[in-house]
Structure 1
């Protein structure tokens, strides 16, 4: 059963560190700061300087435009109630050095990364009972240091933890709900993470491989799409997450025709693509479970080769 905590469980301001003030991290930081929480952004030296001098600007059709002052540091040196980890998988290991476990204290850790393998790394770095896996549904981009553009009419975070105390997870859900970010608490963290990945992986990989929006993928490359979705459904079953390939296909067929993935935009701009978290992690699970995934393997290999992710 899913639960939604009420804001009454979270009346007092929190101190929140946000590691990685990019599109997603900047959006979350802005929305929490607007609700009166103390936000400490953890970033590189130049970005931290810009944020301290100019504040954090959010432009959003859903939440409105505005600039708020935030604290920005290059390394966390004090305990916080919550640390939001919003880097991409490609820079996670290096970024975590900016948030030492000793400085974090007993604060919760909320990762908003794609994939599932990052959870193990975080639970090796911080106490397992403080890590609350989550997914976020939003499209948000950093257009300049300290400037965030949120372009979807929604921002929804869902969370679950097999290790954190239920009361703490509920309080975190209440914090997010109060800030306009959903905060739905789910029971199964594996189902939560795979529920997003089984849509995100084919969407990101296929739009990137074919340099085309989802409408073109589902019409001109439908046979490949169906093969990949069938394999992903079988793969999800190996981690006890029942998934219907037909339901995944329905999501593709109902997506806006011009929808493009962030991986596709990263590839077009020459930035690193998240091939490990979104692609190769699935192939590793296929190897562990002995599940043949030839279409997915060919897709991941093609994207990796084309975009220098050797």
Structure 2
């Protein structure tokens, strides 16, 4: 098969942990042909089809990339590639979900109308903002408020006493604040996040089980990977995100993890989400990650369960 990965620049990949790289390596092992482009390379011109300008066909060298160069791949050729001519397009651009990501999903949606197979489905990416998506499943979440209102946030704090505030477009733990019962700095934090009522904020009751880790539960083709990666906060941090210094420890799924994953998995798969990363703290769902879920290599390295194999199996099945 011919696969096109729409991703960040390949030269920036840290291959020892990069999930997109692990997908590419497994696909190459099976003899699939790898192409890559950046969202900025997508072009749609009147009377034409959506095309990746200057897409690169790559092969893997077996050397380890460190995020500063391209030693891990070689470019076999460059060409303008009509997306409808490849077997699968994998949208793997990392967050944030900004205006350019949004526009890219529209171009990918047009490519679908022209016959391309895109994973995850562009419309589903738009319909499942990663923090807001949990609100569809209140049976699995802690008390949550989404608002621009200063007064509503203060009332939520008065009720729940210990809360987490975060921007809807944050990633990697960026912009997350905890406010305890004393309400210290609540006003300043609200002003910082909602920008005087101009931007929407998510507020949640603090879940103390974060000390045991923010678990990434992967769901592939509607089925859960049997192990999660618990991202454990270090030192005085409340954030378990690996980007914020959290320590990743692979663990078997708990009964509650399985309940959440087995409930959401078929629903999300039916909407065109081949790969989803559910974030679970304790027994509650905190995010539904759909843009570029990660942790394949960490789980595989620590448990021996081959997550990239499960993913490429699911991709091949979806293309049959």
TM-score class normalised by the smaller sequence: 0.3 to 0.5
Report the structure, 1 or 2, having the larger helix content.
1
Report the structure, 1 or 2, having the larger strand content.
2
Work out which of the two has the higher radius of gyration on C-alpha atoms and give 1 or 2.
2
